[in-house]
């Protein structure tokens, strides 16, 4: 599960870490919540350029008739990405990186919830695996870009706090994950094990 995360890296840090030529910034936040705008990095199929842009956090597939009534999942289980129609198309061709500086997990004890913050030791931004889609809009409704964070079984560090964790993509795999022409499911699925 990943229901809250942060992004307080400077724009120049993001451009360096993710090798971005152009980038739109988003105000720093220590508590990004579902249904808010998040930054995602996608890759252009023609130029292979990486793009940083805004998306709604909560996936709305392009075939949805009414985005206001449809479910908008904030997380997708890695294990079912190739099976569930809600995620299948996006996993095949519309994978993205979701830049972050850390995420929260909670434990419950005696009716109270305690948040724990997970981040890289050097505080550098890193990437969560995501998928995205475009809802085309209508006569009175604008196009909506939306995304969801992919989760997997928690590793030994996170297991005491939660049974699930977001999939973290290592820098040397950014290009492989983003490549819309990469249809090697085995290679893509193996990326989730790097931090487990």
Active-site annotation, residues: 2, 105
> Distance between terminal CA atoms of the chain?
15
Contacting residues for 4 by C-beta, under 8 A, at least 6 apart:
31, 32, 33, 103, 104, 115
- Per DSSP, 85 falls in state H
- Per DSSP, 23 falls in state B
* Cα separation, 179 vs 91, whole angstroms: 11
Q: What is the DSSP string of 135-195?
A: E---SS---EEEEEEEEEE--TTTTTT-SEEEPEEPGGGHHHHH-TT---HHHHHHGGGGG
Task: Report strand pairing: 5-7 vs 95-100.
Answer: unpaired
Report the half-sphere exposure of 159 (CA within 13 A, side-chain side): 6
Helix (H, G, I), strand (E, B) or coil at 32: strand
């Amino acid at each position: 599960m990943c229901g809250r995360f942060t992004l307080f890296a400077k724009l120049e840090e993001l451009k360096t870490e993710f090798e971005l030529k152009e980038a739109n910034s988003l105000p720093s936040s220590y508590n990004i919540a579902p249904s808010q705008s998040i930054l995602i990095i996608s890759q252009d199929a023609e130029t292979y350029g990486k793009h940083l842009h805004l998306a709604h956090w909560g996936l709305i597939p392009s075939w949805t008739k009414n985005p206001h009534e449809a479910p908008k999942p904030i997380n997708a289980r890695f294990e079912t990405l190739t099976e569930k129609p809600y995620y299948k198309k996006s996993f095949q061709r519309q994978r993205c990186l979701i830049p972050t500086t850390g995420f929260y997990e909670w434990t419950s004890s005696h009716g109270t919830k305690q948040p724990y913050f997970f981040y890289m030791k050097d505080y550098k931004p890193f990437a969560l695996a995501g998928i995205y889609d475009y809802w085309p809009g209508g006569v009175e409704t604008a196009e909506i870009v939306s995304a969801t964070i992919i989760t997997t079984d928690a590793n030994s560090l996170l297991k005491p706090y939660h049974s699930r964790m977001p999939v973290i993509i290592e820098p040397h795999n950014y290009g492989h994950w983003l490549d819309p022409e990469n249809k090697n499911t085995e290679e893509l699925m193996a990326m989730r094990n790097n931090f487990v």
